[in-house]
Amino acid sequence: MSHYAPPSAPAPPELADDLDRLHSALDEQVPGKDDANLLIGTWNLRAFSDLTPKWRAGERDSPKRDWHALTCIAAVVERFDVTAVQETRRNARALFSLLTQLGPRYRVIASDVTEGDAGNGERLAFVYDADRVTPSGLVGEIVLPPGADGPSDQFARTPYAAGFVRGETEFILTTVHVVWGESPGDRIAELTAFARWMRRWAERPQDWNRNLLVLGDFNLDRIDDPLFDAFVSTGLWPPAELNHVPRTIFAEDAGQHFYDQVAWFSDPTDPDLPSLLEGLRYTRHGGSFDFVPHALRDLTRAQVSWRISDHYPLWVEFAV
């Protein structure tokens, strides 16, 4: 892993200041890890691919993501037991460098790259704390079966599922980065197909399907528009605590975009209808984390977006 080690030069003092600020903010906003909880995160890390092997990338360096930014990313990811990462690219240098920075207790499960222009050279990944969760053995990509008229159009970026165990409780995370398209209507078919596929999986008897959760970048616009309706059409509902938190660092209104989500099968309109979770209880703690005021404060938001991300991480807590 020496290829992914940080620079031999000492880290700049401003990095320690950024980390102090991040840790303080995270302590205030995100529950700590304890014996009875499970913390799940999802983060679209913009173009998470190559890395400039310097503490601070220069004006002529490309990419702009450097070890300073990566260390700030690690400070957030280490707060969660599992983090689903979208926009990991074919070049996985930043991903493996992140694991080096996190240390040996953190590991990764990743899909292959979805080929073709629509795939955008992306893979999907789960970074997990091996001291807190273990893989259950289940991994897979969601492929739609053929229809009556022949092969079905597949997802632009193939959704990826992985099972984990926390204590004696197994759960399955399925992450996706829905196609953007030329207009919002281009996303409805993928969202509908994904929701239907997940519901069929949840209802199949004698299948490996306990505690199905979905998370990732679904490119939803807002509650009660056609995209959101397609997403929740089969009973996948995000918790209310995520309804009014910002998703991107450029959003002027927290309710403007609902791109990133965490959801499971339940019905918030009917409290007598139980969710399909077993051995997991949502604690009603969840949110996004705004890293912008705490890291790389001498840069513009656009510059920060290429070093850390243009999306905020999203998280939820469960009692196990």
| Residue 240: closest CA among 216, 212, 272, 262 | 262
pLDDT given at position 266: 83
pLDDT given at position 188: 83
> Which region holds residue 196: left if phi is over 0, alpha if psi is between -120 and 50, else beta?
alpha
- Both tokens of 290, joined, read 């705004």
Residue 57 φ then ψ, to 5°: -65, 140
On whether the CB atoms of residues 165 and 74 are closer than 8 A, the answer is no
- Both tokens of 3, joined, read 């290829």
| pTM for the model | 0.93
CA 185 to chain centre: 23
pLDDT given at position 253: 65
Q: How many residues does the chain have?
A: 320
Q: Which numeric CATH code is attached to 2-319?
A: 3.60.10.10
Residue 74 φ then ψ, to 5°: -60, -35
Per-block average pLDDT, block size 10, for the chain (320 residues)? 83 97 98 98 97 96 97 98 96 97 97 75 95 97 72 75 97 87 69 89 93 89 78 89 92 72 79 76 96 97 97 97
pLDDT given at position 1: 44
Integer Cα distance of 57 and 70 in angstroms: 12
Q: What are the distances in angstroms from CA 157 to CA 32, 87, 134, 244? A: 33, 10, 26, 27
pLDDT given at position 256: 65
Helix (H, G, I), strand (E, B) or coil at 149: coil
Integer Cα distance of 228 and 221 in angstroms: 7
Other CB atoms within a 10 A radius of the CB of residue 290 amount to 14
Integer Cα distance of 113 and 88 in angstroms: 9
Bridge partner residues of 84 (DSSP): 42, 126
